[in-house]
A and B are shown apart, each in its own frame.
Chain A
Amino acid sequence: AQSVTQLDSQVPVFEEAPVELRCNYSSSVSVYLFWYVQYPNQGLQLLLKYLSGSTLVKGINGFEAEFNKSQTSFHLRKPSVHISDTAEYFCAVSNQAGTALIFGKGTTLSVSS
């Protein structure tokens, strides 16, 4: 069965520093991978997704992620974060039937000045 592990529950960084949020997945079939962001008291918003093709995926707000099949990873990166990036970030993988998302437990990104 598919599963997702987000290796860091909390990541504190200073403004304008680079950040990497780590995500590893487990799957016996081809996967589709997603990163969602949840701002305080809001619903989730898609940052980026990998379905096929180039392993480097660019998303909104300057985020990007790299699909690494050999390491079963899909880490999220941003070269320079802003205070407004403070949020909860969720990595997700499609289930085997491709009908739903399986989410990781989330990583809290806290950006301070």
Chain B
Amino acid sequence: DTAVSQTPKYLVTQMGNDKSIKCEQNLGHDTMYWYKQDSKKFLKIMFSYNNKELIINETVPNRFSPKSPDKAHLNLHINSLELGDSAVYFCASSQDRGGLRLETQYFGPGTRLLVL
């Protein structure tokens, strides 16, 4: 019973391609996130959705577009992949309580993206 799942786990692709990473949570949470972890293991928030509404959109290139078809899913589509996009992408979710999303965030296992 995986709480937060991501597919695929590994993704190897050529520069210029378009790819998507899917995330699903079965915890009934209201808020979902995408984080990027670089080669030095630095972890940074990219996007946050609450009940399918975009809450956080950090300084991420327009080539990255999150899509939330419903509360349990938050997918990440990346256009025109670049070498610098190589990283581990983590999806996470948390329960929203009155606008404060300070509750525990549950992370998926990560998607390791390698752009050649």
Q: Which of A16-24, A67-75, A77-85, A95-103 contacts B (4 or more CB under 8 A)?
A: A95-103
Q: What B residues does A49 contact at CB under 8 A?
A: 102, 104
Question: Is the beta-carbon distance between B107 and A88 smaller than 8 angstroms?
Answer: no
Shortest beta-carbon distance from B32 to chain A in Å: 12
- Decide yes or no whether A42 CB sits under 8 A from chain B: yes
Of B43, B92, B107, most buried by chain A (CB within 10 Å of CB) is B43
CA–CA, A42 and B90, complex, Å: 10
- Decide yes or no whether B110 CB sits under 8 A from chain A: yes
Q: What B residues does A99 contact at CB under 8 A?
A: 48, 55-56, 101
Question: Is the beta-carbon distance between B43 and A106 smaller than 8 angstroms?
Answer: yes
Over the window 77-116 of chain B, the binary record of Cβ atoms lying under 8 Å from chain A Cβ atoms (1 yes, 0 no) is 0000000000000101000000111101101111000000
Question: Is the beta-carbon distance between B40 and A101 smaller than 8 angstroms?
Answer: no
Known: A32-B102, A98-B101, A100-B101. A43 touches B42 (CB 8 A): no
- Residue of B43, B55, B108 near A103 (CB, 8 A) is B43
Q: What A residues does B41 contact at CB under 8 A?
A: 38, 88, 105-106
Q: What B residues does A100 contact at CB under 8 A?
A: 33, 45, 48, 56, 101
Query: Please, how many residues of chain B have a CB less than 8 angstroms from a CB on the other chain?
Result: 23
Known: A46-B104, A51-B102, A98-B100. A105 touches B55 (CB 8 A): no
Query: Please, how many residues of chain A have a CB less than 8 angstroms from a CB on the other chain?
Result: 22
CA–CA, A99 and B102, complex, Å: 7
Over the window 31-53 of chain A, the binary record of Cβ atoms lying under 8 Å from chain B Cβ atoms (1 yes, 0 no) is 01000101001111110010100
CA–CA, A94 and B97, complex, Å: 15
Please list 25 pairs of residues, one from A and one from B, whose beta carbons are closer than 8 Å in the complex, sorted by A's number: A36-B107, A41-B109, A41-B110, A43-B4, A43-B92, A43-B107, A43-B108, A44-B90, A46-B104, A51-B102, A88-B41, A90-B43, A94-B102, A98-B99, A98-B101, A98-B102, A99-B55, A99-B101, A100-B33, A100-B56, A100-B101, A101-B105, A103-B43, A105-B42, A106-B41
